[in-house]
Structure 1
Amino acid sequence: MALSMQTPVCLVDNGPDGHMRVQQEALQILEQIQQPVVVVAVVGLYRTGKSYLMNRLAGKHTGFALGSTIESKTKGVWMWCVPHPSKPGHTLVLLDTEGLGDVEKGDEKHDTWIFCLAVLLSSSLVYNSMGTIDNTALEKLQYVTELTEHIKVKSSGYDQTTELMRVFPSFVWTVRDFTLELILNDKPITADQYLENALKLKPGHSAKILRHNQVRQGLRDFFAERRCFVFERPADTKNMRRMEELTDADLDSDFVEAAKQFCSHIFSSTKPKTMRGGLGVTGRMLGSLAETYVKAIRSGQVPCLDSAVESLALIQNGRAVTEALEFYEKEMERWVRLPTETQEALSEIHAAAEKQAVSIFISGSFNDQEHKHQLELMRSVQERYEEWCRCNALESRRVCRGVLSRVFAGLDEAVVGGSYMRPGGYDTYRSDLEKATQLYRAAEGTGLLREEVLTDYLMEKSAVGENILAADRSLTEAQQRMEAEKMKREEAEQQQRLLEDYKHIQEQAIQDQQRSNQENLRQMEAKMEEQRQRAKEELERAVSAKLKEHQESLEEGFKERARLMQEEVDKLKQEQQEQEPPQGSSWLDTTADVLETGGMAATFVPGWGLAGIGSMVVGKALRWLKK
């Protein structure tokens, strides 16, 4: 179930030392969100109506502070988590950032870091401005030109803009109080075309032209997906001061329609937050990312995407194993009542608990290189299952011996008292033995080792029966031979019954391990396929953007830029080819190999040791059970 907050909370603010810090209350909220998150962050100059857009996305009239004065209301980064309205199983995380360019604050470096955090944490970045998209508006977005200085893909070496483009969010420019007609060269254009026309570069190399192109080139280089929405003034000046009190009926109809289109686009087009390579991010991972980035900023370092991935993997994978194991153990304790009547009964509970435990691990793990942590989980679950099987066997033996002691008590007393050592005593002994055996087998709750305990008892009493038979003078020698042969046949039948039980237990153990491998493979493959598809989309998005940029550069007369774009396209296409799996192979083959090389190809015989998959030797089963 998705977590739904009633009001926003502060995610990042400045501490008493003047440095950024992440608020624990926000981290505790994100910690509860184990779903994928769709993160929308809004940035822009202060007092431009950013918070209103966030409230619309949250489906509320109030929440993020709007304010009605020239004072900037939002400080730091505020967060609001709500169930995603159109993506079941996802949480929508809205981030409202401190207004940029606040004259009272006068800290451009702080503004730059706020902008960078919004870029790093979001899957869709909304830039909000007033009036028109002109040179003045673009100059106020100078933070884009500093992104390569403040964000690194790798911890060493030079980062190319293409690498940043692949992981940066989509970019949405919202223009408020827009009064122009969307017409270009006497033809109507869309808001998207309006934005792209404003981002055209000018030819030349003068300082003025370079300044003109700087932000435009940054937006084109870093953001593969760009959209634009224009909003007319929502109400008159008097009503603008009480926007939180107004309903849609009180607002300009064109403004309301534009707001609906904007929200619809964000809901349908913004993808879940991912890291480089298509690695999906949950709410708790987003909290760890925020801590990682803010820690880097506080220490004067440049946030590094690859380092963040490593840090996140270190935090998440160990915790995912621990939580999965804790769940498995709690489920076993909740449902298992020892001794179980059959091995299948214990196996069914184990299978259900393990399936859910694997699911918990899969959803909580992050970039589990070579599936080391999943293999660790598999081994740990198997060890705990073996322990449950061992305890099940011990409890079954204990209960069976108690029942056996009770139902055979009369027979044992008669043997000790010599009651059967008389003519006709053997028939009486055999009759009493059969009745006690039937009572023993009819007892409930004895578990899977009923026949083993009975066999041990009957073997102990074998010599007793032979002595009673030999002492019974009412039987002829021929009758005694017949009874002795019958006794041996029954002993052989009992041994066969026991061996069949052992064989059945071993076969069930093999089935358990095979099912465990298959379940782990199935869930692992599903996650890998999702990740592969996201990585593929990430590459395709970059290729498409670079091809478009190549074409536009040619049309605008920037031949050198077009050549560079083509080189980037060629590199990306080469990477696409390298990422495609070889013909005839499948992700299942790959992950199966991982499991086998990880040492999970052998089959555990629960509670009694380890044997190869093909080993069905009954004698070994006997020795395992005796351990």
Structure 2
Amino acid sequence: MSPGEAHMDHPLCLIENRPDGRLVLQEEALAVLRRIRQPVVVVAIVGPYRTGKSYLMNRLAGQRKGFSLGSTVQANTKGIWMWCRPHPHCSDRTLVLLDTEGLEDTGKSNTQNDAWIFALAILLSSTLVYNSKGTIDQNALDQLHYVTELTQKIRVTSSRDPSQEDEDSSEFARYFPAFIWAVRDFTLELEIDGHSVDDDGYLENALKLRKGNTEQVRRCNLPRLCIRKFFPSRKCFTFFWPTSKKKNLRQLEELQEEDLEEEFQYAVTRFCDHVWGTAKRKTVPGGQAVTGAMLAKLAETYVETICSGKVPCLESAVLALAEMENTAAVEEAVAHYGRLMGEKLILPTESVPELLGVHAECEKEALRVFMARAFKDDHSHFQTKLVKTLDDRKEGYCQRNEQESTQCCQALLASLSVELEEKVRNWVYFQPNGHQQFVDDLKDIEGRYRQKPKKGVMAEEALKQFLEGKEAVGRAILQKDTALSEKEKQMAEARAQAEATQREQEVQRQRQAELEQKMRDQQRSYEENVQQLKAKIEQNREQLLEEQKMMMENKLAEKEALLIEGYRKEAEQMIKEIQRLKEESAKIKDPSWPERALEGLVTGLSLFLPGIAGKAMGIITNMLRDM
């Protein structure tokens, strides 16, 4: 099993629908989801009870048993059950199957949650299978009345006034899954007006609007309109009776292939191949793939909102998801940076640029990790937090580098000065010409010290402090040296002072050079962050434009169909939605769009990177010329 996978041997209840009407998340199933770091393909099935939903889901799982089929008229599945399986075609994805309790169960004491179960299946899935028996007629469409209630059960944005008209259907379609209608026990000929049609043609014909403007016609057309608007990606599969022997239907999961009707087997194979081959990853608007951990967060957000008596808001759920993922992205990037620094950095370094070079390499990789996971960080709050954290970590490494260099240099100087210290203690230098001997011994120590490699960045500072520590004893030896005249002593004192000043100037020069090197590194860091954010913005722009294009194509096709069917008013509404999508696309294509997106990063980084603020917009302007 690859890292980030969490495949299950059997299904678990994800959301329990209790007899008192409460929806309760199950921690065991959530824990499984949280371990899945792969993108997930989420297939949910809904429909009336006792229609064989669980059988299809078991087949999608590649198993005969798993989800409970039941064999009586009593509905078996309560709430939503989950089964995470290896994806048959994509090793980098996990297949998450959601089996829901049957709708319209007459044995339920509380049926109000049917609409919430239906809504949750839509909200959590990337492909929704609606399973029914018989034919797609008006009765079947009336049973799917839950789709007409979606605008009351789900809100797209938090800013819409509930008293206003329903939100633009294109906004729902942006979040909603692909739709498959599975028609079980289908025995009719696929023929319309004397012409053969396939399953999809059968569905589209069933979704044609009825002529007329009466209340009854409007009521009949409402589920058709909702399906067409909310689910532009539609597919249909018809299934013949699985077996001609009614008693075998009660033990369908036990039957061998030879006991099943050939037509039924063929339809099940087609259905599974279609789902495995075409079902897309669960995503949120903008194309961000949803992982198992993110799916768990969505489930928690939606169920908690429903239980609080509020209407789930898609936009708010995505923002909560982004908050969670972006926080995790910062943590993952920082941890990655720490691992790389631990592998590549050997302290002490000979110079600050050497350390900064390793930091730059590790920061770049950490930023890539962040960019791969983060999304909807519209004001670059989390990216700024990452840069600040990495800058702090860099300073921490610089301090450790100085500490280890200081310790190394002090130990080296202590070992080199053992003989000198012994002479001082034995008053060897306190005799005529002793001062010169003391000075010569110090010069010898300094020479041998400078020849030693790998002392680190504090070599000059440590030497300066060492020599400063010998100044007092040097002056005492000088004053006791009877071989020197007062003038010679004054000249020796002046030379010592000049050398000390020179050493201090050298240390200050080195400190200034290091400060400038760190400033250049901050400039480099800023440019790297802008460059990677620019690339992500461009990627997001392409994804958004592709999303807009697909939605416009679906709207155009639906508009043409409405015109052909004679529904000019509905077609005109569709034209308005298409125009709005065009205006949105024009804004996304605007050259200033990336610059606006980068403003948050400029503001955030300028607060703590000295010297960046004045150069920031110039850097961005130059980079945008290449976009």
- With the shorter chain as reference, the TM-score category is 0.7 to 0.9
Query: Structure 1 counterpart of 2:84, which letter?
Result: C
Residue 151 in structure 1 maps to residue 154 in structure 2:
yes
2:176 to 165, 168, 173: 168
Residues 50/514 of structure 1: CA separation in 2 closer, same or farther (3 Å cut) = farther
Structure 1 partner of 2:588? 579
Counterpart for residue 417 of structure 2 = 408
How far the C-alpha of 1:37 sits from its partner, in A, is 2.6
Q: CA deviation at 1:314?
A: 4.5
- How far is the alpha carbon of 1:20 from its aligned partner? 0.8
Flag the 1:240–1:427 CA change in 2: closer, same or farther, 3 A: farther
8 Å contact kept, 1:76–1:98: yes
Give CA deviations for 1:19-76 in whole Å, capped at 9, x if unaligned.
1111111222222233333222111122222222222333333322223333322211
CA distance in 2, matches of 1:277, 1:178: 39
Residue deviations 1:369-413, cap 9 Å, x none?
311122122212212321332233133223322321221221244
Q: Does 1:293 align with 2:296?
A: no
Structure 1 residue 594 displacement after superposition: 3.3
Segment of structure 1 superposing worse, 105-114 or 84-93: 84-93
Match of 1:213 in 2: 221
Q: Cα–Cα, structure 1 residues 396 and 247, in superposed 2: closer, same or farther, change >3 Å?
A: farther
TM-score, structure 2 normalization:
0.83
SS of the equivalent of 1:369 reads: coil
Stretch deviating more after TM superposition (512-521 or 365-374): 512-521
The letter for the 2-side match of 1:191 is D
Compared with structure 1, are the counterparts of its residues 100 and 602 closer, same or farther at alpha carbon in structure 2 (3 Å cutoff)?
A: closer
Aligned partner letter, 1:437: E
Instruction: For 1:144, give the aligned amino acid.
Output: V
Q: Give the 3 Å change call, closer, same or farther, for CA 300–601 of structure 1 in structure 2.
A: closer
| Aligned amino acid, residue 597 of structure 1 | T
Superposed, 1:396-545 pairs within 5 Å as 396-414=405-423, 417=426, 419=428, 432-433=441-442, 435-441=444-450, 446-458=455-467, 501-502=510-511, 505-506=514-515, 508-510=517-519, 512-545=521-554
* CA distance in 2: counterparts of 1:177 and 1:472, whole angstroms: 120
Find the counterpart in structure 2 of residue 104 from structure 1.
107
Aligned to 2:78: 75
Q: Secondary structure at the match of 2:141?
A: helix
- The 1:244–1:179 alpha-carbon spacing in structure 2 relative to 1, beyond 3 Å, is same
Equivalence map 1:232-311=2 (5 Å): 232-237=240-245, 239-246=248-255, 251-311=260-320
What do residues 504-538 of structure 1 show as CA deviations (whole Å, max 9, x unaligned)?
64455345434433444455445444443443333
2:19 and 2:109 in contact (8 A); partners too:
no
Residue identity matched to 2:73: I
Task: State how far apart, in whole Å, the 2-side matches of 1:198 and 1:612 are.
Answer: 63
The residue number in structure 2 matching 1:182 is 190
Q: 1: distance between equivalents of 2:330 and 2:31?
A: 20
Q: Indicate yes or no: 2:232 matched with 1:229.
A: no
Q: Partner letter of residue 71 of structure 1?
A: Q
How has the CA–CA distance of structure 1 residues 358 and 206 changed in structure 2, closer, same or farther, with 3 Å as cutoff? same
Q: Shift in Å at residue 200 of structure 1?
A: 0.5
- CA displacement at 1:286 relative to structure 2: 1.9
The question of whether the paired residues in 1 share the 8 Å contact of 2:383 and 2:601 is answered with no
The question of whether the paired residues in 2 share the 8 Å contact of 1:178 and 1:231 is answered with: yes
- Superposed CA deviations along residues 261-307 of structure 1, whole A, max 9, x for unmatched, are 33333334333323345454332222222122222222332222223
Give the AA of the match of 2:309.
G
Note if contact 1:521-1:591 (Cα within 8 Å) is conserved in structure 2: no
The one of 591, 598, 612 aligned to 2:604? 598
Separation in 2 of the partners of 1:260 and 1:274? Answer: 26
Change (3 A) 1:249 1:402: farther
> How far apart are the structure 1 equivalents of 2:410 and 2:512?
22
Separation of aligned partners in 1, 2:364 and 2:72: 56
Q: Contact conserved, 1:420 with 1:468, CA < 8 A, in 2?
A: no
Cα offset for 1:459? Answer: 5.8
- The residue number in structure 1 matching 2:621 is none
1:304/1:430 Cα in 2 relative to 1: closer, same or farther (>3 Å)? same
What residue identity is the alignment partner of 1:596? Answer: V
Alpha-carbon distance, 1:240 to partner: 4.0
Measured after TM superposition, the shift of residue 236 of structure 1 is 4.2
Go from structure 1 to structure 2 and tell me whether the alpha carbon gap of 1:35 and 1:344 turns closer, same or farther (over 3 Å shift): farther
Determine the structure 2 residue equivalent to 1:61: 64
Counterparts in 2 of 1:202 and 1:446: CA distance versus 1, 3 Å: same
Per the TM alignment, residue 498 of structure 1 is displaced from its structure 2 partner at its CA by 5.1
Q: Is the 8 A contact 1:510 1:613 kept in 2?
A: no
Structure 1 pair 251–494 and aligned structure 2 pair: CA distance change class (3 A)? farther
Aligned-pair identity (%): 43
Look up the SS of the partner of 1:370 in the other structure. Answer: coil
Q: Which amino acid aligns with 1:201?
A: L
Aligned-partner Cα distance in 1 for 2:83–2:600? 40
1:23 maps to which residue?
A: 26
Shift of 1:334: 7.9
Structure 2 matches for 1:331-350, cutoff 5 A? 339-343=348-352, 346-347=355-356, 350=359
SS in structure 1 of the partner of residue 131 of structure 2: strand
Q: Distance in 2 between matches of 1:343 and 1:189?
A: 74
1:293 corresponds to which letter in structure 2? Y
Q: Write the distance in 2 (CA, Å) between the matches of 1:379 and 1:569.
A: 43
Q: Any conservation in 2 of the 1:324–1:361 contact (CA below 8 Å)?
A: yes
Residue 108 and residue 206 in structure 1: after superposition, are their counterparts in 2 closer, same or farther (change >3 A)?
Answer: farther
**Matches of 2:51 and 2:466 in 1, distance apart?**
88
Partner of 1:93: 96
For the residue of structure 1 that corresponds to 2:42, the secondary structure is strand
Partner letter of residue 598 of structure 1? G
Q: CA deviation at 1:324?
A: 4.7
- Could you say what secondary structure the match of 1:204 adopts? coil
**Residue 197, structure 1, aligned to residue 209, structure 2:** no
Tell me: CA distance 1:465–1:247, structure 2 relative to 1, closer, same or farther (3 Å): farther
Q: Within 2, Cα distance between the matches of 1:373 and 1:365?
A: 8
C-alpha distance in 2 between matches for 1:254 and 1:514: 68
Q: 2-side partners of 1:249 and 1:403: how far apart?
A: 85
Q: Distance in 1 between matches of 2:613 and 2:511?
A: 15
Give 3-state SS (helix, strand or coil) of 1:297's partner: helix
Cα deviation for residue 130 of structure 1 reads 2.1
Unaligned 5+ segments in structure 2 are: 616-627
Match of 1:51 in 2: 54
Distance 1:233 1:15 in 2: 33
Cα deviation code 1:554-591 (max 9, x no counterpart): 11111222222222211221221122232xx684x555
* Residue number in structure 2 paired with 1:132: 135
Q: Is the 8 A contact 1:312 1:366 kept in 2?
A: no
Count of residue pairs brought into register by the alignment:
603
- Return the offset for 1:231: 2.6
The amino acid across from 1:296 in the alignment is T
Stretch of structure 1 that moved more, 247-256 or 77-86 = 247-256
**Is this contact kept in 2: 1:317–1:365, CA < 8 A?**
yes
Structure 2 contact 430–480 (Cα < 8 Å) conserved: no
Between the aligned partners of 1:514 and 1:264, the Cα distance in structure 2 is: 53
Cα offset, 1:337, TM superposition? 6.3
Q: Deviations over 1:86-112 (max 9, x none)?
A: 445433322111111222126442211
More divergent stretch after superposition (411-420 vs 391-400): 411-420
- Please give the per-residue CA displacement for 1:148-204, whole angstroms capped at 9, x wherever unaligned: 121112333232323222221111112223333333333332221111011111111
C-alpha contact 2:329 2:374 (8 A) present in aligned 1: yes
Residue 125 of structure 1: how far off its partner (Å): 1.0
CA distance in 2, matches of 1:185, 1:147: 34
Aligned partners of 2:194, 2:443: CA distance in 1, in Å? 106
Return closer, same or farther for 1:519/1:236 CA change in 2, 3 Å cut-off: farther
State the alpha-carbon separation in 2 of the partners of residues 472 and 252 from structure 1. Answer: 120
